Amino acid sequence: MRFPKSSDAALNALLQSRFPAAQAAGSVSPLPGSSGQSLRLEWAGVPLVARRDVGNLQSGVSLRRHYRALRRLAPGLGPKPYALGDGWLVSEFISGDVVETLPDAGELVALLYTLHHQRRFGWRIQLLPLLMSYWQQSDPARRTPLWLRTLQRLRAQGEPRPLRLAPLHMDLHAGNMVRSAGQLRLIDWEYAGDGDVALEIAAASLDESDRQTLIGDYAQRAALDPQQLGLQVAHWRPWTVALMAGWYERHFWQTRDSQFITLANDAWNRLKNN
C-alpha cells in the first residue's frame, strides 16, 4: 500500500527532524497485520515502526494518546517512542519473537502487575461511546435486535464502578506480545487508557478456565479479594464481548472480509447464551 506523496513527505520530514544525520530510510515494508497503515523501516540504522493516523477509520484511536502512553511507560514494557507529528507516530521496532499463545498465568500476572503500577495515563477508557460508534459504523443490515438490546441494557446499567483504577493496555492477546532478549514486552498501545484492572482481565483474549486462573493469581499478587475480583470481571464481560463483536462488525463493513462476520457471530452467540 502506498500513501499519498504528501503523507510520505511528512514522514520523511519527521524522521529527518528526529535523526538529522541520516539522509534516507533503508528498507521499508508494511507491518504485518496493520492493513497497510503502519510501516517497518530503518533510519540511521535504527529499526522503527511508523504508524499513520487512522483516527477517521478507528474510533477511540488517537496517535497523540498512543504517543503519550508510550512516553509514560517504564523502559522495557513497550516500544520506545521517538517522534509524533504530521499524522505519524514513530517508535521503536522491538526485535524478537511474537508469542504464539499467551504466557502462563504467572508470567502474565507479573506483566500486568508491573503495568498496573505505572503512572496513570491521564484519560479514562469509556466503553459506551465506543460501543455506540461501532453500531453507527457498521453495515445497517447487520444491526440486529440482539445488538440493539445489548446496547440498551448496557447503557441502562452503566459501566461498573472501578475496583482499582490503573493504566491499562486493553488489547491483550498473543499477537501483541514480543519476547525480546528474554523479556516479555507489549506492543500496539492504541487502545490504552486508565480503567479498572478487572476490565483488563475481562478484555484479555483468554478461554474462561485460563481467565479464572488469572483472576486467582492476580488477586493474590495485587492483594485483592479473589471473589470480589472475579465478580467484577464477570460484570465487565458483557461489555468486552459486545466491544469485540462491534469491532468485528465495523471491520467487516470497512473491508468486506467475511472472516469478521464469523468472528462477530461467535461473539453475539456468547452474549445470547449468557
Give me the residue spans of the domains in the chain.
5-93, 98-272
pLDDT > 90 in the chain, percent: 77
Which of 20-29, 67-76, 123-132, 197-206 comes out lowest in average pLDDT? 20-29
Length in residues, the chain:
274
Q: Is the dihedral of CA 5, 11, 14, 18 positive or negative?
A: negative
pTM above threshold 0.85: yes
User: In sequence order, what are the beta bridge partners of 191?
Assistant: none
Q: Please, which pLDDT band fits residue 56 given cuts at 50, 70 and 90?
A: low
> What is the rounded distance in angstroms from the CA atom of residue 75 to the CA atom of residue 78?
7
Mean pLDDT in residue range 186-195: 96
Listed in sequence order, the residues at least 6 apart from 32 whose beta carbon sits closer than 8 Å to its beta carbon are none
Residue with cell 514513530: 90
Mean pLDDT in residue range 131-156: 97
Residue 250 has pLDDT above 60, yes or no: yes
Determine the CATH number of domain 5-93.
Answer: 3.30.200.20
Determine the CATH number of domain 98-272.
Answer: 3.90.1200.10
Is the distance from CB of 172 to CB of 240 less than 8 angstroms? no
Is the distance from CB of 253 to CB of 139 less than 8 angstroms? yes
Q: Which of 144, 176, 132 is nearest to 267 (CA)?
A: 144
> What is the rounded distance in angstroms from the CA atom of residue 141 to the CA atom of residue 157?
26
Report the C-alpha dihedral over residues 178, 82, 75, 65, rounded to 10 degrees: -80
- Here the cell at position 54 is 487512522
